[in-house]
Amino acid sequence: MLTGTGGMERRDLERQIGAVVAEYVDPAGPGLSLLIGRSNQVILAKGYGMADVTRGEPLTAASRFVIGSVTKQFTAMAVMMLRHRGALAYDDCLARWLPGLPGWSDRVTLRHLLQHTGGVREYLTEEFWTAAGEGKYPDLDSVLRRIATFEDLEFDPGTRWRYCNSGYVLLGAVVERASGRSFASFLKEHVFDRLGMADTFVGETDERVPRLATGYEYKTRGDFRPAPWHFAVIGWADGNMISTPADLFRWGQALYTDELLPLSELAAAFVPCRPLDATFSRYGFGHLVGDRRGVREIHHGGGTLGYVSAFTRFTDEQLTLVILSNAAGIKLAEIAGRVAGMCLGDKLAPLAPAVLPEASRQEVAGLYEGSPRDHRIRVTVRAVPDGDLAAELTHGEQESPPQLYEGLLALGGDLFCADPVTDTYLEFTRDHAGGIAGLRIKRSGSVENLSRVCSPPEVDEPAQARAGQAE
């Protein structure tokens, strides 16, 4: 476990992390910039791989990246600051601020949007990206007009949780209406300048900025290509910020203090919606609130064309981990999980396996599907000959191979650990008669609910084995 800041310890940590990153990053290809901080001190800050492969420009600790949905916690902070000044209220209906929206906006509040419980339909679909790829670059007004074409809500506000970029685009527009300022200028004056985040700003155009790493589409360590670059990559208040690991560390440290808001008001950001409801993700205002094997974890990730990001604070340990990458498709959750494991060590509670009867193994096998986000998720659970359970997970119509989880570890009841590195769990749910009805994918506060589609498929081996036989 990372317990101090002595020179030898830092060298050991840097060596161990370098060995992990080398499994994913080719020094001559796109990579990542990583920062680890404890309390208010940076323990390690380093770039791995190239910021621009063609020009041979390496990534450094000072490289800039599009941070995608990590932006959402800044959007939430802007709303909270305006509420602190009395300019708006969390329970204001959306129609008060954006009167041009359909009738459903009378039922959706700012609190619903902050917590992803508003039921507003998603604008950021495959259709959107296809149009952008054809040169039809939207601006904020056109995105708002697109949202205004949604005739109804996906569900009644407050009754479900579903991650929604549309909600944060709307919140950004509300910030502008309530403040009389642009979203970019509001954050610059009230957050970035105040915290000394000199390398952070809201992207307002598709102009490339100095030290911005070039984004790449990444499949494997040696298989990548430049990602398209246009305004849709930057986006809006759902994901349009550019930053560095060092600036995000400054932001994270401010969240322990009253530098931006009184602590009594700042605490609302870290209170999950419906915390006692197991079907809801534990989402506050722009932050997921969970724990990693007993260690409290407040975090958010982000992703757009060419970029992925992870920003995590293990608050009880005063430990911060920031990883920004210009290789969209790299296994960032896996890298972050392995680095977190090095830093937390024996603070992570051990996994205690339970005995799984054969009848239980057969009972949970089957096909599970759902659309907890803007694409369909399918999980196939199989009983394999060695007495274990295996699962494979696919997202939408993705071309990449499914995520394979071999040897699910039974933890008792209907809970299984699928992957201790990414802290992923599968929990089977039951109907009133006691039969298996669905499946929850759980990752440190995130909950994705799937329904059972059919009983065990007539396959008893994982996809990896079948693929090997086909070859």
Considering the domain architecture, whether residues 366 and 221 belong to the same structural domain is answered as no
> Which residues touch 197 (CB under 8 Å, ≥6 apart)?
191, 243, 247, 250, 251
> Is residue 19 assigned to a domain?
no
We report the CATH number of the domain holding residue 435 as 2.40.128.50
361-389 tens-digit pLDDT: 889 999 999 987 767 899 999 998 777 89
Considering the domain architecture, whether residues 132 and 211 belong to the same structural domain is answered as yes
* Contact assessment for residue 45 and residue 78, using Cβ atoms and an 8 Å cutoff: no
Considering the domain architecture, whether residues 365 and 337 belong to the same structural domain is answered as no
Is residue 243 predicted with pLDDT exceeding 70? yes
Considering the domain architecture, whether residues 323 and 364 belong to the same structural domain is answered as no
* Contact assessment for residue 246 and residue 44, using Cβ atoms and an 8 Å cutoff: no
Considering the domain architecture, whether residues 380 and 246 belong to the same structural domain is answered as no
Considering the domain architecture, whether residues 336 and 376 belong to the same structural domain is answered as no
Q: Which pLDDT value is given to residue 217?
A: 94
Determine the average pLDDT of the residues in 460-466: 44
> Is residue 47 assigned to a domain?
no
Q: Pick 206 or 403 by higher pLDDT.
A: 403
Cβ neighbourhood burial of 462 (10 Å; 0-12, 13-18, 19+): buried
Q: Which pLDDT value is given to residue 466?
A: 40
**Structural domain count, the chain:** 2
166-193 tens-digit pLDDT: 999 999 999 999 999 999 999 999 999 9
Considering the domain architecture, whether residues 187 and 82 belong to the same structural domain is answered as yes
24-45 tens-digit pLDDT: 999 999 999 999 999 999 999 9
> Is residue 41 assigned to a domain?
no
CA 404/CA 312 separation, integer angstroms: 25
Considering the domain architecture, whether residues 456 and 314 belong to the same structural domain is answered as no
Considering the domain architecture, whether residues 337 and 402 belong to the same structural domain is answered as no
248-285 tens-digit pLDDT: 999 999 999 999 999 999 999 999 999 999 999 999 99
Q: Which pLDDT value is given to residue 398?
A: 54
206-215 tens-digit pLDDT: 788 899 999 9
Q: Two tokens at 363?
A: 């009972």
Cβ neighbourhood burial of 129 (10 Å; 0-12, 13-18, 19+): middle
> Is residue 352 assigned to a domain?
no
Q: Which pLDDT value is given to residue 130?
A: 75
We report the CATH number of the domain holding residue 130 as 3.40.710.10
- Residue 372 per-residue DSSP state: S
- Alpha helices, H only, 116-228: 126-133, 140-148, 165-179, 183-187, 193-195
Range of the domain at 261: 68-346
Q: Which pLDDT value is given to residue 468?
A: 38
> Is residue 351 assigned to a domain?
no
Is residue 467 predicted with pLDDT exceeding 60? no
Sign of the four-CA dihedral 436, 438, 441, 446: negative
Considering the domain architecture, whether residues 220 and 77 belong to the same structural domain is answered as yes
pLDDT band at 292 (very low <50, low <70, confident <90, very high): very high
**pLDDT, averaged across the chain:** 91
> Is residue 11 assigned to a domain?
no
Q: Which pLDDT value is given to residue 137?
A: 66
pLDDT band at 135 (very low <50, low <70, confident <90, very high): low
> Is residue 17 assigned to a domain?
no
Residue at a domain's end among 346, 369, 385: 346
Residue at a domain's end among 286, 317, 346: 346
Considering the domain architecture, whether residues 342 and 362 belong to the same structural domain is answered as no
Q: Which pLDDT value is given to residue 9?
A: 78
Residue at a domain's end among 300, 324, 346: 346
> Is residue 57 assigned to a domain?
no
Determine the average pLDDT of the residues in 82-108: 97
Considering the domain architecture, whether residues 171 and 269 belong to the same structural domain is answered as yes
Is residue 291 predicted with pLDDT exceeding 50? yes
Q: Which pLDDT value is given to residue 220?
A: 86
